[in-house]
Structure 1
């Protein structure tokens, strides 16, 4: 897709063979993810309020997994004094996705290529070193700099954006998956109503609704990086177990649950990171 006319609601597509076609649409839904087609074409990109961070990642095979029945779990390793964190996501019985997330300033301080940096961190972190000592990379090390993104608006007269085409916060809690699924389902329902001739308030029913979830996740992301959240999740006391369970519930996707005492959208209780 190379062009979009918002007034006529027509899109221009260039095929692989170079041929060009135009289509007239009833509704244009941008689910292009990190490609962010409409934000790019309509100048809707906006700077994120989050700190500039980078992700350096690749897939490996034959890592040494835990033998306690959690071999299929996603593990997170903290690097240094919360300088970075490593994701460890099993993709199959033999393949694992391994990524390092850190501030751009931290990455640049090493003056290394992405592959050199990935090797250095995985070999110097005690947990990663043990797990990947016999592992072999099966693709090139990837790099995404300043991955957090935002948009000026999520919808227009004849279009709407879903998932990462709108706002992407951070990979730490896989919030992108929750927000993508919820936004896709919400837009599908609202689009059906609109095409049936029913009135839809896209600002209230979609954008305002989605921003509740985005803002909840944003607060937890910020609490993760400033260290407050680790204090609850990793160094809990028996009295904090109930709070931890509620936090896990929120991070599992229940970000629109106003009855959850640790949801930032509940004004009656302090944010868990301030407990």
Structure 2
């Protein structure tokens, strides 16, 4: 007979959203059990954080776990396309809140976060695979198998799915739905970058655009130890047509972008080239009887604006207080109190992703004569403040981006409060 265990809250996955929710709930005295299929430390991409992450980490009591790690300071994003170069400083933004954050090697960052959750009292079990789920508003339960093949059942009063790309409950509850974003692939690795160029700003992620294909873009994320994360993203067929293997494809494409070719001419890979394809995902619902779904386990957009960890942490800090209230006997409207507001910010990020790939956001970013107020509004979203409805580029971002891009393309006069012609 399989053993049956019990806990207040079961969390699937020990990544950033799982660690944040576990730390918040365990820190308030709840019994929390985290089930992680893998073992930490483990490699992950998503290394360039956004400033909106900082108050979320503080709210979960995890800032002390990472503040002394010596991570690379980050204050913005830089963009290049041929001879064009533009930098956006997150400190010059419209929305109040931190304007700086870090660029992190996720193996270390995620380890520190889950260690922080354990320090708050959460129990974390590694090497545990969730094979089944019984949704129930009072006592949802998980079927688990460990590495020794031993099966057990974990009953909880509430379940949070923070399984990331594993998307455990989306799969088990058949909640998957096709993403509206076209399929794309990423090729990436870590390098000893050996960058000595005086014009390279290590405090910003560098995003490059392919000289001929605006849908192919590059990232360069410097770390504090002289290493960097590098990658290229594009249509899988376009990437595959460049060379016969992923290593040749990545390096051939990097050499085609002048700034990346120059900066990385002495780079030495420290790990094999990896490919991630078909990563964009969507879901019918982010909640159900006795459960809620966090971060990438529900919906993932695209890596271009580094929104993944921000959405993961935002979902955790939204869900954890609601779980506590529900365990106290309150009735929670998960649709209006959790899913709807979370999806509003995700929708803003999606509009920016779409605008990047259709070229309109690239037109705005590389335009050199924008009025500072408009640039501050754009910077706020790129800094992760996608839920600030006082920002016009959050409220109706798609229409405003289109209008601003048209004005930039006309280039008839400097964009200013007197002639911006923004929709109301």
TM-score scaled by length of structure 1 = 0.93
Whole-angstrom CA distance in 1 between matches of 2:371 and 2:184: 30
Sort the Cα spacing of 1:68 and 1:107 in 2 relative to 1 into closer, same or farther, 3 A.
closer
| Equivalent residue for 2:378, pick from 241, 247, 257 | 247
- The answer to whether the Cα contact below 8 Å between 1:83 and 1:106 also exists between their aligned partners in 2 is no
1:114-153 Cα distance to aligned partner (Å, 9 max, x none): 1111011112221111111111111111101111101111
Sort the Cα spacing of 1:65 and 1:227 in 2 relative to 1 into closer, same or farther, 3 A.
farther
Which position in structure 1 is the counterpart of 2:271?
139
Which position in structure 1 is the counterpart of 2:175?
44
Which position in structure 2 is the counterpart of 1:59?
190
Which position in structure 2 is the counterpart of 1:89?
221
Deviation at 1:272, TM superposition (A): 2.3
Quick check: 1:195 aligned with 2:327?
A: yes
Quick check: 1:115 aligned with 2:247?
A: yes
Whole-angstrom CA distance in 1 between matches of 2:197 and 2:354: 30
| Equivalent residue for 1:4, pick from 110, 133, 141 | 133
1:89-127 Cα distance to aligned partner (Å, 9 max, x none): 112331100010111232233353211110111122211
| Equivalent residue for 1:173, pick from 298, 305, 317 | 305
Task: Name the stretch that deviates more: 42-51 or 180-189.
Answer: 42-51
Deviation at 1:207, TM superposition (A): 0.8
Which position in structure 2 is the counterpart of 1:273?
402
Whole-angstrom CA distance in 2 between matches of 1:20 and 1:272: 52
SS of equivalent residue, structure 1 residue 27 = strand
Quick check: 1:16 aligned with 2:147?
A: yes
Quick check: 1:164 aligned with 2:296?
A: yes
> Relative contact order (C-alpha < 8 Å, sep 6+): which is higher?
2
- The answer to whether the Cα contact below 8 Å between 2:167 and 2:296 also exists between their aligned partners in 1 is yes
Task: Name the stretch that deviates more: 106-115 or 164-173.
Answer: 106-115
SS of equivalent residue, structure 2 residue 238 = helix
Whole-angstrom CA distance in 2 between matches of 1:236 and 1:149: 35
Two-structure CA RMSD over aligned residues (Å): 1.7
Deviation at 1:44, TM superposition (A): 1.4
- The answer to whether the Cα contact below 8 Å between 1:187 and 1:206 also exists between their aligned partners in 2 is yes
Whole-angstrom CA distance in 1 between matches of 2:216 and 2:379: 21
Whole-angstrom CA distance in 1 between matches of 2:399 and 2:277: 33
The 5-angstrom pairing of residues 70-109 of structure 1 reads: 70-81=201-212, 82-109=214-241
Aligned length: 272
